[in-house]
Amino acid sequence: MSILGRIYDLSLRGARSLSPFFAGGSGKVGEGLRGRARDRYLFREWAQAERDPARPLVWFHAPSVGEGLQARAILEAMKEVSPGVQLAYSFFSPSAERLARKLAVDVAGYLPWDLQVEVSPTLDALRPDAIVFTKTEVWPGLTSAATRREIPVFLAAATLPPNAGRLRWPARRLLRQTFGALEGVLAISDDDGHRFRQLGVPEARIQVTGDPAMDSVMERVEATDPDAAHLVPLSDGRLTVLAGSTWEPDEAVLIPALTALRHRIGRLVIAPHEPTPAHLEPLEVRLADAGWTTTRLRPEIPPEADAVIVDRVGILAELYTIADLAFVGGGFHSAGLHSVLEPAAAGVPVLFGPGHENARAAGELMAVGGGREVADASELQAALERWLDDDARRHAGDAARHHVESHRGAARRTARILSELLP
């Protein structure tokens, strides 16, 4: 093991030993630690009771919700092309737990600590025929243990932005052996594939299969029930601007721009990325101070309310289907731009801030005319005004939806490649 590898291993051991002291916290860290402790033996216990050695098993890992949606599309395609396959699914972030419980898999839980004492017995119990990571996250300990057991490891929906920290020292040095051990990288684009070569993946092991997220968002939009309780109150024909996954810096730009156009907008619906009381209550005050009449999303919305605040998660993709214009948050926040694919799949033109270096889809939507970057409130106001014109808005929305539709099929292509390896 290299010096950097030993540092990584010792750091994880230290974190695991300290985890009981932080597990009582109310935030995501505490929630994740409690979930990881609860699920420590989950995969092993399931394997002892349910693992069928006559059937192949693939272990998928997706760290959070975005990657989970990509994985879901591949999982569903796997069920079609390999009906007998067993599927295990792990995640890292507490935000992904709700999604994981809904997936059509045989077992789902938190990823074990990336230490040999944790991953080795899990692998020996599951005996997977392949391990599939998604997007960018590849765990060195699990990859090393799988390689020693001659279990092929893949990275699907693989993407690596030009400014990714993995391409810089010391991450590049630490991860080079891990990425070099991958049996295959199923990349979103040629450019992504080239960057994975810089991390030590042999060119012969890289294939471009496209982005399974395109399949996932289209399926979710097409499955939306227009009579759902959270959609009916907003389906009254009023011109609606929906701001999704916003942070306070996004709202500082958004509210002045929309307030200047308030007389031309029927309704603002705003869904913060973290709908906690600490965020929602100040947001309500800022909107009220700007002259908006606010309400929370409820089965009945007062007719005088022109700003609806969404205080729950899990329904944003469906909400985009009732929007006329969309603003996606994160572009003015250090978190970076959140997904623009959901509004695009719903045929809604998309506006966003400048922080979208890691969001390939944003640049692609700009290229086809379905999305626009804005640098400040005045630019946002001007962009909104241009798309308040019915023809311009319809043309941009059609371009956005066509872009997503034209890239469908990546999940099935990925599933076929993986299935060819199964016994």
- 366-384 confidence digits (pLDDT tens): 999 999 999 999 999 999 9
What number is the average pLDDT over the span 393-416?
96
Could you tell me which residue, 4 or 368, shows the higher pLDDT? 368
pTM: 0.86
Q: What is the mean pLDDT of residues 124-131?
A: 97
pLDDT exceeds 80 at position 249: yes
Q: What is the CATH number of domain 3-211+408-419?
A: 3.40.50.11720
Task: Please report the pLDDT score of residue 90 as a whole number.
Answer: 97
Residue 120, both tokens:
């080795």
Closest CA to 143 of 198, 210, 61: 61
Domain boundaries, the chain: 3-211+408-419, 226-405
Q: How far apart are CA 346 and CA 323, in angstroms?
A: 9
CA distance 245 to 254: 12
Asked which of 17-31, 81-95, 222-236, 343-357 is least confident by mean pLDDT, the reply is 17-31
Q: Which CATH number fits domain 226-405: 3.40.630.30, 3.50.50.60, 3.40.50.2000, 2.60.200.20?
A: 3.40.50.2000
**Angle, CA 69 vertex, CA 63 and CA 70 arms, to 5°:** 85
Of residues 3 and 250, more confidence is placed in 250
pLDDT of residue 358: 81
Which CA distances in Å does 320 have to 131, 271, 343? 34, 11, 5
d(CA 348, CA 241): 10
Task: Give the tokens for residue 237.
Answer: 């024909």
Torsion angle (degrees, nearest 10) of CA 197, 162, 158, 408: -130
Work out the average pLDDT over 130-134: 97
C-alpha distances in angstroms, 99 versus 94, 334, 342?
10, 25, 16
Distance CA 296, CA 380 (A): 25
| DSSP letter for each residue of 46-84 | HHHHH--TTS-EEEEE--SHHHHHHHHHHHHHHHHH-TT
> Given phi > 0 = left and psi -120 to 50 = alpha, else beta, which region is 374?
beta
Is 226-405 in the same CATH topology as 3-211+408-419?
A: yes
- What percent of the chain shows pLDDT beyond 70? 99
7: pLDDT confidence band, cut at 50, 70 and 90?
confident
> What pLDDT shows up at residue 3?
67
Decide if pLDDT at 1 tops 80.
Answer: no
Per-residue pLDDT at 174:
80
Predicted pLDDT at 86: 97
Q: What angle separates helix 42-50 from helix 116-126, to the nearest 10 degrees? A: 20
| pLDDT above 90 for 25 | no
274: left (phi over 0), alpha (psi -120 to 50) or beta: beta
Residue type, 160: L
pLDDT at 2: 63
